[in-house]
A and B are shown apart, each in its own frame.
Chain A
Amino acid sequence: MTDSHGHGGGHGHGHGAPQSFWRAYIFSVDHKVIGIQYLITSLLFLLIGFLMAVLIRYQLSTPAPGDDFNPENLGLIRGMLAGIFGENNMPYGFMAPEFYNQLGAMHGTIMIFLGVVPLGVAAFGNYVLPLQIGADDMAFPRLNMMSYWVYFVGGIVMLASFMAPGGAAQSGWTSYAPLSVAAPAGQTWWLIGMVIIITSSLFGAINFVVTTLNLRAKGMTLGRMPVFVWAQLVTAVLLLIAFPVLEAGALLQLLDRVAGTSFYIPKDMMYGGAVFPAAGGGNPLLWQHLFWFLAHPEVYVLLLPAMGIVAEIIATNTRKPLFGYKELVGSMILIGALSFVVWAHHMFVSGMRTSLANLFVTTTLTISVPSVAILTCLLLSLRGGQIRYNTPMLFALAFLPMFGIGGLTGLPLGFAPTDLYLHDTYYVIGHFHYVVAPGSLVALMGATYYWFPKMFGRRMNETLGKVHFWATVIPMNFIFFPMLIQGMWGMQRRLADPTLQWHNMDVQGWSTVILWGAAVMMLGQIPFLFNFFWSIWNGEKVGENPWDATTLEWACPSPPPHGNFAAPPEVFRGPYEYSVPGHPSDYWPQDEAA
């Protein structure tokens, strides 16, 4: 703790003393460096996960050779795919079921655990949260550094699992036992990777809670905290309570695989034509309960930071206070609490006691109320504003209708009688992608444009930003809306070749639309990648407060030095004092003395 916490007053050696390259940029304990490390790593994982999805969509648009297939002339794309992934994984450029199942499981795992959560929580939370509460760093800087490096190792284990005999995990991102227990070695790697990633998340979560509760600047009462800080606090508590349950569940599954235990293996189970070599007596449903006890709060871990980001960007770019600060914060806390009693809505048809469904339908529909409240507050925040249409604001605004579709389509899924029909169809895939991709991920892209000037002292290019915005949000709808249509017709998820089932043929055409959407969206990310790296060195230089915002992260230099604030800031008012009557400018920063 000594070298990292010695400058607790903000005037230690952190400000001037030169650090070696390794200490400053690689094994740094500075929350801002760690935040940027998380940012770049998670963007990389998002890209990997996205490319996997494009491969999956390519497969699903033409799952099997047609009449015009000529093995001598595969064409450019199929020839390349067959060459890159090999004859075992993609014979003649068509995906083998084992490879399809690996990509399906790993796309989900990478996007959720290595992409969106680290981006929303670890990257922006790490960078922005200490600044917004006026702290000079996180409470435990070394633990923070460890959290990143443990996450990094977890990511490497996940990627390396593709090289395991039999390939990566292939039992879905949900890894339902007993299929996962009997699966090839990649599943063991997946479980070890999950334990490592969960450990990293727990390090981060405890750090966020302690930092928020203990390191706030003078005058920064709980009621003056920006909504983003509240969102991160609730998220950290969710992670802290929910993740240990999955960690325990994953360790039990690991024991089932490597130590011959039977936590999830029932008596007299057969596999591959013989009795499965385990004592039996376990229950496959136990895994589902442990998994969803984490994985439903996890949805809100994906969502709450995005809502916090949207609130910040909307307040800044409407030039007026947020509507219903208390309602927003209260709803977030309520969502956090309720998210622990809705998990079994994933299990209506799992074979759990059927009467339990009535309870979980009720809790699930109840949790929609605070979600509606949050959307209502954000929408009403626009009323009476002076809306500036810059790139971050476009992304924040797009979040509202996109998350709206995601939330609304949750209704027939959370309602047991209609879920009987829609469960495990593409309707589910469309629903949660609307929540996480056009929802959370779009908000996180907005956050990248919004806080980039703080991180690098330069702004990202607006024109490229707007091209990126339209080339992302429009194609996304061509990807995910057809999934709702296919699911409505009953096409199931996780099919390597849906055309083998004749009931899917009536909606198979939509897969072509989805592929085109994915292809355009892929091209649409090129301006972003270029803009991001180009702007780090060549973007327009900005001062400490380029958006004329009120919260504390804009009260220190861009980028802030190690230790952040020149002197400990003091807070005099709430976070969103825009257009205060009588005040000379249309924003009144939290730290500006009256």
Chain B
Amino acid sequence: MNAENGYTIGLPPVASSYGSDIDALMLLMHVVMVAIFVIWGVYFVYCLVKYRAKDGERGVYHQAGENASFIPDGIILVFEIWLILAFGIPMWVSIKQQTPPPEESLEIVLVAEQFAWNFQYPGADRKFGRRDVKLVSASNAIGLDATDPAAKDDVVTVNNLHVPMNKPVILRMTSKDVIHDFQVTNFRNKQDILPGQMTMLWFEPTVPGKYEIACAQLCGLGHTKMIGNVFVDSQQDWDKWFQEELEYKTADAGTTGSDEAAVVSRQGSGDEKQETVL
């Protein structure tokens, strides 16, 4: 398991609340898969050796155990029904169909585009400022309406997501252009991001540090470069960071993002509008 040489085997370190449950399920499944393969493979090799052709002998015409052959099918079916009822539906409901209570969580809007991630934080009023496609410009990537009172304490960052530890984060996501997908391997979750529609992904970070966001849905020429960072800090550090962002915003009204380097890199990788004629 040497991470230096590029030949690692296994799962990357887990950093979200439900991540260890998913890892346990992955382990269970792979143990069962290997067990089935090994039992089955041993019998296969036994047959290959034992029943190789011998001169003058004939095969067995009458088959025994036609009904018994349904036993492995039955065992697999029972195992799968148990998996669905014990883990499949409950875990799916808690991770995907429900969110933690919004009042105890940090809600963030994510507007994805070729090839950048724009995060909108609602600020103390917990209200997101209005977005309008007509207001989108080079300096206003998400089309935030500055005249909306709810937008006053909103902060927008590009490619860098800052979240406090041990607090659920609910991402309300949409795309400006094509389909993208928010993936952080350490959180064990991903979700497609669609234009014209909101999708949701929540996670509760449990380990401080920096994690990589990667786009997992082919989105054009810069797909590979559509990466970002999640910074998981303590609540105090996060509060301090957010206050600085707010002050920065008021001091330098006119630019929305504080991550200058990220803005520059994004402008460098814009996908040219392609002709659609035959």
Contacts and interface: CB of A to CB of B under 8 A. Distances in A.
A36 interface: no
Interface stretch (B89-97, B118-126, B150-158): B89-97
A490 B15 CA distance: 14
A273 B270 contact: yes
Contacts of A166: 274-275
Contacts of B224: 97, 495-498, 500-501
Contact of B60 (A178, A273, A349, A385): A385
A266 interface: yes
A358 B92 contact: yes
Interface stretch (B45-53, B100-108, B246-254, B256-264): B45-53
Contact of A418 (B22, B70, B197, B275): B22
Contacts of B72: 372, 376
Given A270-B113, A387-B48, A284 B73 contact: no
A490 B43 CA distance: 33
Contact of B73 (A369, A404, A505): A369
Interface in A153-212: 165-166, 171-172, 176, 178-179, 181-185, 188-189
Interface string A390-403: 00000001001100
A181 to B, nearest CB: 7
Contact of B225 (A266, A272, A415, A500): A500
Interface residues of B, number: 101
A268 B136 CA distance: 11
Chain A interface size band reads 35 or more
Interface in B31-45: 33, 36-37, 40-41, 43-44
A368 B196 contact: no
A182 B177 CA distance: 10
Interface stretch (A125-133, A225-233, A317-325): A317-325
A299 to B, nearest CB: 19
A488 B10 contact: yes
A138 interface: no
Interface in A398-430: 400-401, 404-405, 408-409, 411-412, 415-418, 420-421, 423-425
B212 A489 contact: no
Given A176-B218, A178-B179, A387-B51, A412 B30 contact: yes
Contacts of B178: 178-179, 182, 271
Given A362-B84, A490-B185, A417 B91 contact: yes
Interface string B42-75: 0110011001111001111101011001101100
Contacts of A387: 47-48, 51-53
B97 A354 contact: yes
Interface stretch (B1-9, B160-168, B235-243): B1-9
Contacts of A404: 37, 40-41
B6 A280 contact: no
A320 B275 contact: no
Interface string B206-238: 000001101111111111110100000000000
Contact of A489 (B10, B81, B192, B199): B10
B185 A503 contact: yes
Nearest to B3: A506
A384 B51 contact: yes
B216 A423 contact: yes
Contacts of B10: 488-489
A386 B61 CA distance: 11
B176 to A, nearest CB: 5
Contacts of A416: 88, 92, 96
A420 B189 contact: yes
Interface in B184-207: 185, 188-197, 199
B197 A179 contact: no
A495 B223 contact: yes
Nearest to A327: B69
B148 interface: no
Contacts of B276: 181-185, 188, 257-258
A397 B196 contact: no
Interface stretch (A213-221, A236-244, A517-525, A574-582): A574-582
The 6 closest A-B pairs by CB, nearest first: A266-B196, A509-B6, A320-B59, A384-B60, A490-B185, A272-B273
Given A385-B60, A488-B11, A489-B9, 15 more contacts: A182-B273, A185-B278, A368-B76, A369-B73, A377-B69, A384-B63, A389-B52, A401-B41, A411-B29, A415-B88, A421-B26, A489-B8, A489-B12, A506-B6, A507-B7
Interface of B: 3, 5-12, 21-22, 25-26, 29-30, 33, 36-37, 40-41, 43-44, 47-48, 51-54, 57-61, 63, 65-66, 69-70, 72-73, 76-77, 80-81, 83-84, 87-89, 91-93, 95-97, 113-114, 133, 136, 176-179, 181, 183, 185, 188-197, 199, 211-212, 214-225, 227, 270-278
